[in-house]
């Protein structure tokens, strides 16, 4: 297991486990689609290790400024993460 994920520091840095998971997934997809890492990739480093390192070094984050509203059974809910 990646050591950084064992501590609450990275969870608190992003604002919760859901946001952290969403950020990891989105950035991982970008790397798999050919985006270049924003940190130095050491030999043997996996893509997920690269993503965690990028988060810890403040190279990537979730855009919490964008808000979208979706109807939900007569109510609305706000999503703060960019879905695309």
Instruction: In whole angstroms, give the CA distance from residue 4 to residue 54.
Output: 12
Q: Which fold has domain 3-79?
A: Eukaryotic RPB6 RNA polymerase subunit (3.90.940)
| Residues of the chain with confidence (pLDDT) below 50 | 67, 69-70, 72, 75-77, 79, 83-84
Measured at the CA of 11, the angle between CA 51 and CA 50, to 5 degrees, comes to: 10
**What integer pLDDT is reported at residue 77 of this predicted model?**
44
**What integer pLDDT is reported at residue 34 of this predicted model?**
95
Instruction: In whole angstroms, give the CA distance from residue 45 to residue 31.
Output: 13
**What integer pLDDT is reported at residue 66 of this predicted model?**
62
**What integer pLDDT is reported at residue 53 of this predicted model?**
94
pTM of this prediction exceeds 0.75: no
Domain ranges of the chain: 3-79
**What integer pLDDT is reported at residue 65 of this predicted model?**
67
Instruction: In whole angstroms, give the CA distance from residue 35 to residue 28.
Output: 9
């Amino acid at each position: 297991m990646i050591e950084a994920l064992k501590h609450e520091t990275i969870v608190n840095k992003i604002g919760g486990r859901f946001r952290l998971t969403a950020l990891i997934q989105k950035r991982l997809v970008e790397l798999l689609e050919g985006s270049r890492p924003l940190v130095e990739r050491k030999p043997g480093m996996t893509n997920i290790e690269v993503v965690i390192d990028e988060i810890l070094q403040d190279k990537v984050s979730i855009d919490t400024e964008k808000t979208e509203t979706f109807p939900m059974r007569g109510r609305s809910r706000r999503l703060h993460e960019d879905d695309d």
